[in-house]
Amino acid sequence: MALVGPPPMLNSNPFAVLMSDLRDERSASVPFPPGETGLSLPRTRRFANEPLPLLLEAYERYGPIFTLRLFHSNVVFMLGPAANHYVTVSHASNFTWRDSHFRDLIGLMGDGLLTIDGEFHRRSRLIMLPAFHREHIVASVDVIVEETTRALDELTPGASIDLYAWTRRLALRVAMRALFGVDPDGVQARSIDAAGLFEDALAFYASDFLLRVFRGPFTPWARLQQAARRLDELIYSEISRRRATGERGSDILSLLLDAQDEDGNTLTDLQIRDEVMTLMFAGHDTTTSTISFMFYELAHNPELVGRLLAEQDALLADGEPSAAQLISGELSELEMVFEETLRMYPPAWVGPRRAVGAFEFEGHAVPERAFVNYCSWASHHLPDVFADPEEFRPERFSPQARAAMPKGAYVPFGGGSRTCIGMRFGQLEVRTIATLILSRFTLTLPTDFELSIRQMPTISPRDGLPMFVHPRSAVAAAGLTAAA
C-alpha cells in the first residue's frame, strides 16, 4: 500500500474561511439543535476565557446537545457519556478534525497526526504506533527519571518556584530526548528556548477571537509564525543531520526517517517536521498541565499527601521507585489522584470536529458541515454522572467505582481511532515526575493564590503556579496547607 499523500492545504485566508463557514451554515439542510444562536461577542469572549461554566449552564438548559454561536459560526456541543461515545467511537467516521473549530492549529503543527483525517490519518498512525509500543515506552523510563532528578536537584527547601514553568521545561527536555532524540544541551538546542517558543506560539490560541483573524506584522498570527520558524530550524537541522550521518536511535524521529511503503517511498522532510512538531507540542503541554493541577489540588488536600507519602514509605525500596513500579502504576493511591486530576482538569479539554453528513442525536438533527465538539472537561463535571463534581475525590477511581462508570463518562485521552497515541508515555511521565517530587519535597501554595484557568488551546493555570518548596517530611508531618 503506497504512502498516502497529505490532504490539500486549507485556505488560510481568515476572511475566505469565514465566508465559507457562513455559506455552509446557510445551506444547512436541517435546523441546528436548540441553543443560543444569536451573534454575541460577550458569549464568544466568555467561551474563550471561561468555557466550563458557559457549557454547564447550557447543558442544564438544553440537555446533552445544544448550539452556541461563537464568533461567526454555530458550534454544536455534545456532552456526557453517550455523546462522547457517539463522537469518538460509534460514529467517528462521520467527523473530521482538520476543518474543525481548532483548524488554526494547522498553522503550527501542519499535517501531523492531530490535524489529519481518513486514510492519511490511519496510515500515519500505523507508522507511528511502534514508537509507542510498550518496549519503546519502557526504554524512556531512564530518560524521564534522569531529567526529573536533574530538575529536582535545582530545587532547595525554602525556594519558591513556578511549578508550571519548571514542569514545562522538564517535559520539553524529556520530549526532545525521548521522542526527538535530540540532546537539549547540544549547541543548537541550547541556543533555542523551545519552551519559550512554544509559549509564544501557543499564545495565539489564547488571544482574542477578533485578533486571530488578522495576519499582518505584530499580530498574534505573526508571533506564532515567528516562533514556529525558530522551532523549525531546530527540527529541520536535526532531520538533515540524521539523514547525512545515518545516525539512528530508539526515538520516533529515527522511525519516521526510515518509514517506507512497499514501493520504497519515504516521508518527506515536511511530513516528518509536522509529526515531530505535533508530538513535541502534544507530548509536553498536556503533562505539564497535569502535574500543575495535581500539585495544586494536593496543596489543598494535605491528608491526601499524607496517604501518598505513606504509600511511598510502604512500597518504594530506599525511597526510590523502580522502573517496573513506574510502568505498571503500582502506587495505586497516586494513580487515583492522577485520574481524578484528569477528571477535573483534562488538559486536552475539547475534541473539535466537523460533521461530514447530517445526523441525529437524542432526537435532535445536526446539519452536515456543522462544527461539533465533544468536551471532556464539561462531561467530567456533570453532576448526574460525577456527584459533587467540584470536589477532588480520588476514591471515584477505586477499581470498583471505575468499573461502574458508564461507557464514555471519563475521556481524558479521547477515544476510538483517535485515542491519544501518547497516553502510555504521558502516564509514565506524569507518574514519574509526581513520584519523584513527592519522594523529595512537599509543595505548598501561597495563601492568597487563586487559580484561574486559561485555554491555549490546552488548559493550564493562567499565570503559572507559584509554589513553595519544603523538605518532604516536615510539612507532611505538620499537615500544613500553605506556608512561606
Site of interaction with ligand HEM (CB under 6 A): 113-114, 125, 179, 278-279, 282-283, 286-287, 290, 342, 346-348, 351, 412-414, 418, 420-422, 425-426, 430
Q: Quote helix, strand, coil % in the chain, to nearest 5.
A: 55, 10, 30
Distance of closest approach, residue 179 Cβ to ligand HEM, in angstroms: 6
Nearer to ligand HEM, 24 or 117 (CB): 117
Tell me if residue 380 falls in helix, strand or coil: coil
Give 419-437 as a DSSP string.
S-TTHHHHHHHHHHHHHHH
Q: Which residue is nearest to ligand HEM (CB)?
A: 422
Nearer to ligand HEM, 321 or 414 (CB): 414
- Give the start-end residues of each E strand in 356-402: 359-361, 364-366, 371-375
Alpha carbon separation from 424 to 9, 252, 332, 412 (Å, rounded): 31, 15, 16, 13
Distance of closest approach, residue 55 Cβ to ligand HEM, in angstroms: 16
Nearer to ligand HEM, 114 or 259 (CB): 114
Give 153-214 as a DSSP string.
HT--TT-EEEHHHHHHHHHHHHIIIIII---TTSHHHHHS-HHHHHHHHHHHHHS-HHHHT-
Give 311-337 as a DSSP string.
HHHHHSBTTB--HHHHHHT--HHHHHH
CA distance 348 to 453: 13
Distance of closest approach, residue 342 Cβ to ligand HEM, in angstroms: 6
Residue 27 CB contacts under 8 Å (≥ 6 apart), including other chains: none
Distance of closest approach, residue 164 Cβ to ligand HEM, in angstroms: 14
Nearer to ligand HEM, 367 or 414 (CB): 414
Provide the CB-side half-sphere exposure for 467 (13 A, CA).
31
- Between helix 423-440 and helix 141-153 the angle, nearest 10°, is 40
Tell me if residue 144 falls in helix, strand or coil: helix
Distance of closest approach, residue 416 Cβ to ligand HEM, in angstroms: 8
Distance of closest approach, residue 332 Cβ to ligand HEM, in angstroms: 18
Nearer to ligand HEM, 337 or 469 (CB): 337
Distance of closest approach, residue 148 Cβ to ligand HEM, in angstroms: 15
Distance of closest approach, residue 84 Cβ to ligand HEM, in angstroms: 9
CA distance 326 to 336: 14
Distance of closest approach, residue 97 Cβ to ligand HEM, in angstroms: 6
Tell me if residue 348 falls in helix, strand or coil: coil
CA distance 399 to 405: 10
Nearer to ligand HEM, 175 or 476 (CB): 175
In the chain, the N- to C-terminal Cα span, in Å, equals: 61
Nearer to ligand HEM, 409 or 430 (CB): 430
Nearer to ligand HEM, 5 or 158 (CB): 5
Nearer to ligand HEM, 292 or 444 (CB): 292
